[in-house]
Each structure stands twice: as structure tokens, then as C-alpha cells.
Structure 1
């Protein structure tokens, strides 16, 4: 089971290593936007939208990595002072009852919109913008898939913790 956990973790670890560069690129483009607008009087809707695309990519594809490194938001009312086994039980509940089902529902209900967007190769959000809204919408099922993969990995790891096995 630990081998499977390692392989599932590797997916989001590799995605995280690639996606983190979106943050740097986003900052550089935003700096260029401000520089071009206020120094040279030049503005471009497509360049402005590129920041939105990078921001969306960073957060949607980085969510699985955030779960992997346990940096997600957590309500610590019951969790903070709990034993390792109790934490594992809470996490198992969260993955089985909350996270995985919500990601399945989100993927299910967003899929028709994403599929239709790809059928027509949906164009820009704004006139003069990036002609690839279909790529932006594709982040939704990718987000769901990466979170489900990481949730399964966390679920398996918590089952091992619950049994008292070390990872």
C-alpha cells in the first residue's frame, strides 16, 4: 500500500513542481502590465487575461499539492489536540464523506460545460482576450481529479496510521 501511496503522491508532487512557476511568471507579467501601462501607455486585454489564467492554473492545479504537503485550511477545533489515531479517523471521515464526494459531484456537474466548451473551442472571456476559455474551464475537472488522487493517497495513509503502521 505504501508503494501506491508513493506513486499517487508523486503525481501531485510533480504537478506542484511545475505549477509553482506560474506564481513567478504571474508576478513578472503583472509587473510588465503596470510598467507598459504607466510608462509606455500600452495596454492589452490578452496580457491582462494571462494573469487570470496563470492565477487559475496555480490555484486549481496546486490544490492537490497543497493537500499533499498538508498546508490546506483546517478547522482545528477537534483536530489540534487529538491523538494520531484520532486525527487519522477525522481525516478518513473528511476524505470519504466530504472531499471525495464533493469532487465527484463537482466534476460530474461541470463536465457538460467543459465538454461543450471544447466542442466549440470557446473563445476569449473579453473581446481581444486569450481565445482559449476552453482551457480555463478544463482546470475544473483537472482540479477535481488531482484532489481525488491526493485524497485517495491521504485516505490510504490515514488507514495505515489508524492501524498503527508507520509510513
Structure 2
């Protein structure tokens, strides 16, 4: 069980690192988009590669931080029943959801996008726009990265569910504890 907790902690650390690094692309997107607007409307000029750049940065950011969003529980969920449920009930719902929905979704996206990415790498695909950026094949590779970080975080959440259902919630890494667990940990730390 401790090995599983260590693995979950490692995955969470990886996704936190990736999320924090790639979230800085948001600033780059704003700056490049601002530059495009200023160039177009103030100086009456534009560069196609700059327009490609902020769109590609947006795509790279949102695919790379998918695991980080899942780690932080930032995805959309109908929590009429989930939030007020007991921790074990939430763990069971997560276990079923990850096995039945998340992992098959990641597999389907990976399976169908891999030939698409391989083909793009095969001829070093670039922007379809004249004067656009080279290296579209690199951006398309982020689809594979998306499935990898999402599936890895799914494994970490699966481990969390297993630990909770096995009666070992104290082994759950702090980054993925259920909110009720975090309140309990905070109370315990205050008591110590």
C-alpha cells in the first residue's frame, strides 16, 4: 500500500510541475495576442506566424495541463450527490468513473490520434497558412501528451480510491486528499 501511495505522490508531483510550467504559457498567449492586435490596428501590419503562435500556445497549454486540472479537481462535475457524499462513497464513484469512463476515453483518444501524429511527424507538417509557423507536428504531439498526463493522473486518483476503500486514507498523498480528509488533517495538525 505504501508503494501505491508513493506512486500516486510521484504522479501528482509530475502533474503539478507540468501544470505550473505550462500555465505560464497563458501570459505568453496574452502578450503575443496583444502584439498582434497592436501591429494590426496601430501599425497596419501583421505576421501570420504570430497569429499561429498564440493559437498553438493555447493548444499546447490546454492539452499539457489536463492532468494538473484533474489533480486540482478543476474539471466539470455534477456534484449534487458527490460533494455531500461520504468519503468512501466518493472513492467508489471515482473508482468506477475512472475505470469505466476516464481510462477508456484516454485509450480511444490515444489510439485514434497516434496515426495522425505519426503522419504529421513523417512529413514535418507545418502551418497550412502561407508564412505560418513550421513545426505543427510538435503541437500535434501534445495530443499524445494530453492522454498521458490525464491517464497518469487517473491512475493516481484510482490509487487514492483504493487506499480509501482499503481503510488506509492516511496513506493518500496530500495533493489528492478528499476535502473532508483535508479538514481532518488540518484539525490534526492544529492539535499537534
- TM-score, with length taken from structure 1: 0.96
Deviates more, 1:124-133 or 1:61-70: 124-133
Alignment-derived partner of residue 28 in structure 2: 25
User: 1:85–1:164: 8 Å Cα contact kept in structure 2?
Assistant: no
CA distance in 1, matches of 2:103, 2:159: 13
Aligned Cα root-mean-square deviation (Å): 1.0
Alignment-derived partner of residue 56 in structure 1: 59
* Counterpart selection for 1:76 from 79, 91, 97: 79
1:65-104 aligned at under 5 Å gives the runs: 65-104=68-107
* Counterpart selection for 1:108 from 90, 107, 111: 111
CA distance in 1, matches of 2:128, 2:80: 41
- Show structure 2 runs of 5+ residues with no match: 173-192
User: 1:111–1:141: 8 Å Cα contact kept in structure 2?
Assistant: yes
* Deviating 4+ runs (over 6 angstroms): none
Alignment-derived partner of residue 127 in structure 1: 130
Which SS does the other structure have where 1:147 is aligned?
A: helix
Alignment-derived partner of residue 19 in structure 2: 16
Which SS does the other structure have where 1:74 is aligned?
A: coil
Which SS does the other structure have where 1:97 is aligned?
A: helix
1:25 shift after superposition: 0.6
1:28 shift after superposition: 0.7
Alignment-derived partner of residue 140 in structure 2: 137
CA distance in 1, matches of 2:36, 2:18: 27
CA distance in 1, matches of 2:11, 2:83: 26
1:128 shift after superposition: 1.3
User: 1:114–1:134: 8 Å Cα contact kept in structure 2?
Assistant: yes
Deviations 1:45-89 (CA, angstroms, capped at 9, x unpaired): 110111111110111001100011111111113312211000011
Q: Kindly tell me the number of residue pairs found equivalent between the two proteins.
A: 167
User: 1:49–1:129: 8 Å Cα contact kept in structure 2?
Assistant: yes
Q: Which has the larger radius of gyration?
A: 2
Which SS does the other structure have where 1:98 is aligned?
A: helix
